[in-house]
């Protein structure tokens, strides 16, 4: 009898653990459930929903080439998953279902319900660990706890890594087409926002593989030197593809291994630094699983729940629109809204600006990011925000407050990124773009800073000093 493979954020046929397992068991029928309202309630916006829909279309085509039909269902809520999947199993006489785990709380709960429903019906649902080298819980501190600090986690990750963990999974051999027909893929309903142009993020495995190759050819070895400079585009820009599984971390790490003579932790400094980012990615997935309070909108460090966040709607709107009067913050926010992506250095700067300079609850920024990011991914986004707000793991010490103009001078020294996203400042001399003097702004449509850096810094320090356990 056929075996069901439920695709979620693993939209690829290459190196897919659950797909390979399903194909070993029998002819495969692929399933995709689209939970648009639920994903919107989780906070994802049009950019990622559209990218995902295009990724499913690309997957559909790839599966056709293997003789695997893709069945598609539209559901409102995760709670409907067990019944929908059981109905498909009944219709197709499938006895088994495979899927790759997703680690945030809600997804885990959904998958447990599916597994229990299959058990109760005498069928078998099997989850596989695929998105990470180590399943959450596999790496623990000497005391048996989940790691809450990155460096020891990374050490354990490297120490315990084996070749088998990164071995690429088999792609299924083409199969005789089962008698079940693929469903036509429904078009995307009208969403509240329009998605960014497709050309920024062409979907599918081929586009992802292309990016990986280009990155390794032109930037990999320079990664450490280039990664912090947004005007250079020296990072892989693979995050949307990793978030939806159009490429796997194993494919990326195998390619890095090949480039780096078989080593991950030593050798070329650029490639080693890039590999380290994958360890961060995995770290935050473990954190989301091991410290489920973060999935319930809680701070990782409970005492920071006492912070006196300001209710500043005008400040929040200025931040969202890129109208704070701090050019590096504004250029970054405009990049986010226009392209659905923001450079990592800028994510740190803008997040810290919201949480520290404006003292606005980081959760508002986290939600805004998730709504716009094509790579919006709960664990990395939450981890990044809590880091910036000094409420999380490895929290930046609370007194570390980036000076936006200093960051700008350091990481966009020629003001090129600023000129690209703030055309109104492009005619200013490059050196003046970071912190434009008032007189140069006469006749320029650009706002003065909404807060004074020194005063804002002092206010944030006071707020943190007021916390009982600091």
Should residue 381 be labelled a site residue for ligand FAD when binding is judged by CB under 6 A? yes
Yes or no: say if 9 and 102 are a contact pair by the CB < 8 Å rule. Answer: yes
261 Cβ contact partners less than 8 Å away, ≥ 6 residues apart:
267
Burial 20-55 (b: 16+ CB within 10 A, else e): bbbbebbbbbbbbbbbbebbeebbbbbbbbbbbbbb
C-alpha dihedral over 51, 54, 56, 57, to 10 degrees?
A: 180
Should residue 377 be labelled a site residue for ligand FAD when binding is judged by CB under 6 A? yes
The Cα 386–Cα 305 span in angstroms is 12
**In which residue are the tokens 């994958």 written?**
278
Yes or no: say if 100 and 250 are a contact pair by the CB < 8 Å rule. Answer: no
Q: Which of 47, 239, 339, 390 binds ligand FAD (CB under 6 A)?
A: 239
The Cα 128–Cα 288 span in angstroms is 18
Should residue 380 be labelled a site residue for ligand FAD when binding is judged by CB under 6 A? yes
- Considering beta carbons, is residue 98 or 227 the nearer one to ligand FAD? 227
Q: Which of 51, 103, 201, 284 binds ligand FAD (CB under 6 A)?
A: 284
**Active site annotation includes 341:** no
- Considering beta carbons, is residue 396 or 428 the nearer one to ligand FAD? 396
Should residue 250 be labelled a site residue for ligand FAD when binding is judged by CB under 6 A? no
* Minimum distance from residue 273 beta carbon to ligand FAD (Å): 9
Can you say which residues are annotated as belonging to the binding site for FAD?
Answer: 223, 235-239, 274, 277-284
Q: Which of 6, 150, 157, 280 binds ligand FAD (CB under 6 A)?
A: 280
**Active site annotation includes 421:** no
The active-site residue, picked from 157, 319, 385, 387, is 385
C-alpha atoms less than 13 angstroms from C-alpha of 378 in its C-beta half-sphere = 23
Which residues, 331 to 360, sit near ligand FAD by CB under 6 A? 344, 347-348, 351
What size, in residues, is the chain?
A: 470
**Active site annotation includes 181:** no
- Considering beta carbons, is residue 88 or 389 the nearer one to ligand FAD? 389
The Cα 116–Cα 96 span in angstroms is 13
**In which residue are the tokens 């990218």 written?**
51
**Active site annotation includes 39:** no
The Cα 141–Cα 224 span in angstroms is 29
Binding mask 438-467 for ligand FAD (x = CB under 6 A): ------------------------------
- Considering beta carbons, is residue 34 or 347 the nearer one to ligand FAD? 347
**Active site annotation includes 362:** yes
Q: Which of 281, 286, 357, 372 binds ligand FAD (CB under 6 A)?
A: 281
Using only the alpha carbons of the chain, give its radius of gyration: 23
Structure tokens at 349: 């700067």
Should residue 219 be labelled a site residue for ligand FAD when binding is judged by CB under 6 A? no
Should residue 243 be labelled a site residue for ligand FAD when binding is judged by CB under 6 A? yes
Should residue 277 be labelled a site residue for ligand FAD when binding is judged by CB under 6 A? yes
The Cα 342–Cα 335 span in angstroms is 6
Q: Which of 147, 278, 300, 417 binds ligand FAD (CB under 6 A)?
A: 278
What single DSSP character describes residue 343?
A: -
Should residue 236 be labelled a site residue for ligand FAD when binding is judged by CB under 6 A? yes
Q: Which of 388, 418, 422, 450 binds ligand FAD (CB under 6 A)?
A: 388
* Greatest extent of the chain over all pairs of C-alpha atoms, in Å: 76
Beta pairing class for 70-74 and 28-34: parallel
Can you say which residues are annotated as belonging to the binding site?
Answer: 223, 235-239, 274, 277-284
Binding mask 285-324 for ligand FAD (x = CB under 6 A): ----------------------------------------
The active-site residue, picked from 157, 201, 280, 421, is 280
Let me know if 298 is exposed, middle or buried by CB neighbors in 10 A (0-12, 13-18, 19+): middle
Q: Which of the residues are catalytic?
A: 277, 280, 309, 344, 362, 385
Residues that bind ligand FAD (CB under 6 A): 227, 235-239, 242-243, 277-278, 280-281, 284, 344, 347-348, 351, 369, 373, 375-377, 380-381, 383-385, 388
């Amino acid at each position: 009898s056929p075996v069901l493979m439920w695709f979620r954020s693993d939209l690829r046929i290459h190196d897919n653990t659950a797909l390979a397992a399903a194909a070993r068991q029998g002819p495969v029928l692929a399933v995709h459930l689209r939970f648009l309202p639920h994903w919107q309630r989780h906070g994802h916006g049009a950019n990622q929903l559209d990218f995902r829909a295009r990724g499913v279309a690309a997957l559909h085509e790839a599966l056709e080439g293997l003789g695997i039909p893709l069945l598609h269902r539209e559901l409102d809520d995760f709670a409907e998953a067990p019944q929908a999947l059981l109905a498909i199993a009944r219709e197709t006489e499938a006895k088994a279902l495979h899927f790759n785990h997703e680690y945030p709380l809600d997804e885990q709960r959904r998958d447990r319900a599916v597994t229990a429903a299959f058990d109760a019906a005498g069928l078998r649902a099997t989850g596989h660990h695929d998105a990470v080298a180590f399943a959450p819980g596999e790496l623990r501190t000497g005391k048996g706890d989940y790691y809450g600090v990155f460096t020891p986690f990374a050490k354990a990750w490297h120490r315990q890594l084996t070749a088998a963990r990164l071995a690429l999974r088999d792609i299924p051999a083409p199969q005789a087409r089962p008698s079940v027909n693929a469903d036509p893929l429904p078009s995307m309903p009208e969403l509240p926002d329009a998605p960014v142009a497709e050309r920024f993020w062409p979907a599918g495995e081929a586009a992802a593989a292309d990016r990986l190759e280009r990155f390794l050819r032109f930037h990999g070895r320079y990664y450490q030197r280039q990664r912090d400079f947004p005007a250079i585009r020296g990072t892989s820009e693979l995050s949307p593809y990793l978030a939806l599984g159009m490429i796997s971390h194993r494919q990326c790490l195998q390619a890095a291994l090949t480039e780096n003579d078989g080593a991950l932790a030593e050798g070329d400094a650029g490639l080693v630094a890039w590999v380290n980012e994958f360890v961060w990615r995995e770290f935050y997935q473990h954190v989301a699983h091991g410290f489920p309070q973060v999935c319930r909108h809680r701070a990782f460090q409970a005492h920071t729940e006492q912070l006196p966040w300001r209710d500043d709607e005008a400040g929040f709107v200025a931040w969202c629109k890129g109208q704070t009067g701090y050019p590096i913050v504004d250029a970054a926010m405009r990049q986010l809204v226009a392209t659905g992506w923001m450079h990592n250095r800028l994510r740190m700067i803008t997040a810290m600006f919201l949480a520290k300079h404006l003292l606005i609850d980081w959760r508002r920024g986290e939600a805004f990011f998730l709504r716009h990011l094509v790579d919006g991914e709960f664990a990395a986004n939450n981890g990044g925000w809590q880091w910036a707000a000094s409420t999380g793991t490895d929290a930046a010490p609370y007194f570390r407050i980036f000076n936006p103009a200093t960051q700008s001078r350091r990481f966009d020294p020629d003001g090129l990124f600023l000129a690209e996203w703030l055309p109104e400042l492009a005619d200013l001399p490059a050196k003046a773009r970071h912190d434009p003097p008032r007189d140069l702004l006469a006749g320029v449509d650009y706002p003065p800073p909404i807060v004074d850096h020194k005063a804002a810094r002092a206010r944030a320090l006071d707020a943190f000093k007021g916390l009982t356990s600091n």
